[in-house]
Structure 1
Amino acid sequence: MTSTPTERGTEAVPTSRLASQAHHVRELIVDMCTGGEGGHIGGSLSLVDILVVLYFDVLRLDPARPDDPGRDLFVLSKGHGAIGLYATLAARGFFEEERLATYGRPGSLLSAHPNRKVPGVEMPTGSLGHGLPLGVGFALSARLAGTDRVQYVVTGDGELQEGSNWEAIMAAGAKGLDNLVAVVDRNGLQITGTTEEVLALDPLGERFRAFGWTVREVDGHDLDALRTALRTPPVPGRPTVVIADTVKGRGISFIEGQARSHYARLGEAQKKRVLAALGRSRRKEIS
């Protein structure tokens, strides 16, 4: 039966269900990084809790009708986290989970960065610094159309070193786009080291506030904190940013918080080790 997009303000999904979905999505990510070309595992794992809260509890959408005009829009600006997005879309029902096995293969729709041929993907991303400018455009379009659609954009923290993001941040504040929500995956690492060593971002919250944004800073792996930050209505006339403190490689203790987790191709033996680590992490969460 076809459902309708989630109504804003509906009852929250139980935290236990969100936690189970997050664990499942992490397992799917590990599967996609095994054999073949591998994938951006670290930055995808840091995204999982954010994506699960958005897709299972916040966004108004209908997987059976991905182009429904009443849907909220989502753009993954850090496009190298595509495997995290694909796994979440599959778990949410946009396409069969079996299709994830084609990731990175010749002819597959599931490429290293998102593209619009994948059900549920709104815009192709991967060239960093484009997502927030797109979000500003979508938010302005919704205002002109008189709709209550909300635009959500997830960026990486290293990505915020791109000047195009700060032009978009300035424009969103100046235009009072309270229908725009940005989430920063603040895992503190980029491919060349820590963000603060490469080009410091802190005090990140104060920078957004200076451009007229409402800032909410949360633990990016606390599902209830994320849900509260993303469900709380905006301050009228101010865009919202959720700065989510995360851990690169979250859920796999022996790669957590390490730059070397940026990209990996796992063998079968490594896969078993990783899945065992995820299982231990899961048992710890529910104990």
Structure 2
Amino acid sequence: MSTLLDQEKVTVLKQKAIETRKLILETIHHAGAGHVGGPMSAVEVLVSLYFEEMNINPEDPQSDNRDRFVLSKGHSAIALYTVLAQRGYFPIEELKTFDEIDSRLQGHPDMKILPGVDMSTGSLGQGISAAVGMALGGKLRNKTFRTYCMIGDGESQEGQVWEAADVAAKYHLDNLVVIMDYNKLQQYGWAGSVTERENPVFSPEKRWEAFGWNVISVDGHDVQQVIKAFGEAKEVKGKPTIIIANTIKGKGVSFMENSYSWHARVPNAEELEAAIKEIEMGV
């Protein structure tokens, strides 16, 4: 069974994606620090999760029956924060405290201080292991919640990712969905001829299939495809699902797209103004 959204819902999610990208850049500019490229590529997936897919309640963020989400690529925390704020977990105005001392919004998510964060992450490769544990715990307790986890393609070079993948398949965790933000560009890596960095992982579909996972490939910036993939994952029994979300690093701003130099660069006032105009125009 596939899940399709009506045009009204698609329009709403697209508008949320626009607002999210604007908030990401405005927040990083205000803070004078933060990551840009990876958060911008993850927007449509996060918006689809928090505004359409997941069973969550901002007024009861610790509900035992809530769906869980782990941002394994924790350096993209600003994308998660902006979505959580729009979803009502904390005031949007609080985004202005990002990366300040004693702020609840640190450079990497902290589950102990910020509602809506299910796992503290930042050390790449570890978040997916926590997500596997959550899904396994749900199975053992006969719970119906689902666990979602976003990993980076560069992050998937970590051996712990594949240890977690092996365990998830072994225990038939069909309540686990991993999303790879496959923007094909990492800050540090082998030099390449086109993007100036070699693609960090080739043929991810074949690799995950070899580990016993159900694999779905989508355009990670098409909310209709993303939501449909989540629906298909729910119909799969006996194995976990990974969604390979083909994305563009720095998506939404022409001079940021596919540029590794915007992995963690702060836009100045002129760049911010130009970027916001492009995002609003849908360039």
* TM-score using structure 2 length: 0.92
Say whether the 8 Å CA contact 1:193–1:259 is kept in structure 2: no
**Deviations for 1:64-104, whole angstroms, at most 9, x for unmatched residues?**
11111110000000001000000000011111100001111
Alignment of 1:129-140 (within 5 A): 129-140=125-136
Tell me which residue corresponds to 2:24: 29
Q: CA deviation at 1:193?
A: 4.3
| 1:40 aligned residue (25, 35, 50) | 35
**Deviations for 1:153-198, whole angstroms, at most 9, x for unmatched residues?**
0000000000000000011111111011000000001111479865
Tell me which residue corresponds to 1:235: 236
Alignment of 1:1-287 (within 5 A): 14-116=9-111, 117-193=113-189, 200-232=200-232, 233-281=234-282
Gaps of 5+ in 1: 1-8
Distance in 2 (CA, whole Å) between partners of 1:19 and 1:199 is 28
**Deviations for 1:102-154, whole angstroms, at most 9, x for unmatched residues?**
11112211110000111100111000001111111111100111011111000
Identity %: 39
Say whether the 8 Å CA contact 2:185–2:198 is kept in structure 1: no
Q: Which amino acid aligns with 1:246?
A: T
Q: Which amino acid aligns with 1:63?
A: P
Gaps of 5+ in 2: none
Distance in 2 (CA, whole Å) between partners of 1:35 and 1:60 is 32
Cα pair distance change 1:10/1:49, threshold 3 Å: closer
Say whether the 8 Å CA contact 1:157–1:187 is kept in structure 2: yes
Distance in 2 (CA, whole Å) between partners of 1:85 and 1:144 is 29
Distance in 2 (CA, whole Å) between partners of 1:15 and 1:193 is 36
Say whether the 8 Å CA contact 1:154–1:183 is kept in structure 2: yes
Corresponding residue SS for 2:150:
strand
Q: CA deviation at 1:37?
A: 3.0
Cα pair distance change 1:200/1:76, threshold 3 Å: closer
Aligned residues: 274
Distance in 2 (CA, whole Å) between partners of 1:215 and 1:222 is 17
Say whether the 8 Å CA contact 1:35–1:265 is kept in structure 2: no
Q: CA deviation at 1:199?
A: 7.6
Structure 1 stretches of 4+ moved >4 Å? 9-13, 193-200
Tell me which residue corresponds to 1:3: none
Distance in 1 (CA, whole Å) between partners of 2:186 and 2:152 is 9
Distance in 1 (CA, whole Å) between partners of 2:262 and 2:204 is 24
Corresponding residue SS for 2:11:
helix
Say whether the 8 Å CA contact 1:135–1:152 is kept in structure 2: yes
Say whether the 8 Å CA contact 2:26–2:272 is kept in structure 1: yes
Q: CA deviation at 1:209?
A: 0.7
CA RMSD of aligned residues (A): 1.9
Distance in 1 (CA, whole Å) between partners of 2:40 and 2:132 is 27
Q: CA deviation at 1:274?
A: 1.3
Corresponding residue SS for 1:27:
helix
Distance in 2 (CA, whole Å) between partners of 1:33 and 1:277 is 17
